[in-house]
Amino acid sequence: MENKFTVLSGMPLGELEELLAPLPRFRAAQIFNRIASGVSSFSQMNNLPLALREELETRFTVRPPAGRKILRGADGTIKLVLEFQDVAVESVLLADISDRKTACLSTQAGCPAGCVFCKTGAAGFIRNLDSSEIAEQFFQLREIAEEKRINELINSSNPPPLPVSNIVVMGMGEPLLNITELRRALSVITDPKGLRFSKRRITISTCGITEGIDDLADNGPAVRLALSLTTADESLRRRLMPVAASRPLEKVKAALLRYQDKGGGRVTLEAVLLGGINTRDEDAAALAVFAKGLDATVNLIPWNPVDGMVFEGAPIKAPAPKETADFKTALEKAGLKVTLRMGKGQRISGACGQLGVCHP
């Protein structure tokens, strides 16, 4: 029924209990706990009898096999490239001035959204990642963040506090177009019998997949939500983000309001600033109108350069510092809470919009 290639690391505890029956449930919990601690083989599961470890080795794989490449930026950013059997997937470990670390995870190889300013979108869509491949990014980034203590993690029955404080699902792909596998992966990461990661420290970013926002509101998990808005000018948004053609802003806002009505909490509106394109006074005014009635903050992200990106025949460029400052001021005068995000990891193509199948 099962085979050696069934990977356990992406399975929520309930699924693992069913798969391993007729083994008693406590054995599944023991295995789940060992996976959470970071083991990569059954031989490291020293809480199980040797005979059981040997039997499991013939039937299952603990974690998906993947080659890895690590690129380290001078600003402390780390880009991880995981080479699964048929695709390469990139994720990022970010550190702030307090050395708090954030894991940025991918949910797809490539991206179907096709945003013209994003390297991942330009690469096209290859496939969805399964839950074990999504979770594997977190396991690997945690190991990188805590290399000096990885043996302590593996050998502890109650792993020490995680070295990663936040997760943002903002890497390659559109998360809400792969919500089933993402939900399974987050169940593994947040389970109190495993990694115990707080759901309130996880943010999912979407380009406006209304059906996915509704699914998240109805079925959870209760994580934070960010909308990659870019512009609230409907015509411009459709030209910059082809996925918006079938999801008008009116429906996107309605989905966000339903999400908040069901207890989803404050949302973040993200705007990638493109020099001379979406930084006009009328863009600020339109964004303020869109935000009205929402419990929302705004993140401004000056475009991170990617060679060869064009919009309507002209090369895309980053906004001038004054252009960014003026746009931020206009939003603040409209009563919005605004944060300016500067792109870390540009030198290793690890900043927002720079992740792609081709990497340095």
Active-site residue list? 90, 352
How many C-beta atoms lie closer than 10 Å to residue 268's C-beta? 17
Nearest to 187 by CA among 210, 224, 220, 153: 220
Q: Which residues, listed in sequence order, are joined to residue 266 by a DSSP beta bridge?
A: none
CB 28, CB 16: distance < 8 Å = yes
**Residue from 242, 252, 305, 231 nearest 116 by CA:** 242
Q: What is the rounded radius of gyration, in angstroms, for the C-alpha atoms of the chain?
A: 21
Peptide bond into 221 cis (omega under 30): yes
For the chain, give the longest Cα–Cα distance. 70
- Work out the end-to-end distance of the chain between its first and last CA atoms, rounded to an integer number of angstroms: 42
